[in-house]
Amino acid sequence: MLKQATLIGYDASNCKATIKLRTSHQRYLEGVAVACNIPEVELVAGRKLMVSFLDEYIPGEAVVIAIYE
């Protein structure tokens, strides 16, 4: 399942992001894996993301797969 999100923060030391899902105004997901092919310079707070959820009920399995504007 693909969902749209906004990047809140990025931790370069472990390649994980904090994101806010487009459908959730108050809920952040922390520790979301980021695909290795996304350049670190593109991971700026406020950027729009495409996130892949292998199982929508297990947020820990989510991966940021793209950045778009």
**pLDDT above 90: percentage of residues in the chain:** 83
Joined tokens for residue 33: 């894996």
Which pTM was predicted? Answer: 0.91
Q: Where are the domains of the chain?
A: 2-68
Q: In whole angstroms, give the CA distance from residue 62 to residue 27.
A: 15
Given a cut of 90, whether residue 32 has pLDDT beyond it is yes
* Assigned CATH class of 2-68: mainly beta
Given a cut of 90, whether residue 37 has pLDDT beyond it is yes
| Residue 32 · residue 62 · CB < 8 Å | yes
pLDDT per position as a tens digit, 9-25: 999 999 999 999 998 77
| Range from 7-11, 36-40, 53-57, 62-66 carrying the lowest mean pLDDT | 53-57
Amino acid at 33: A
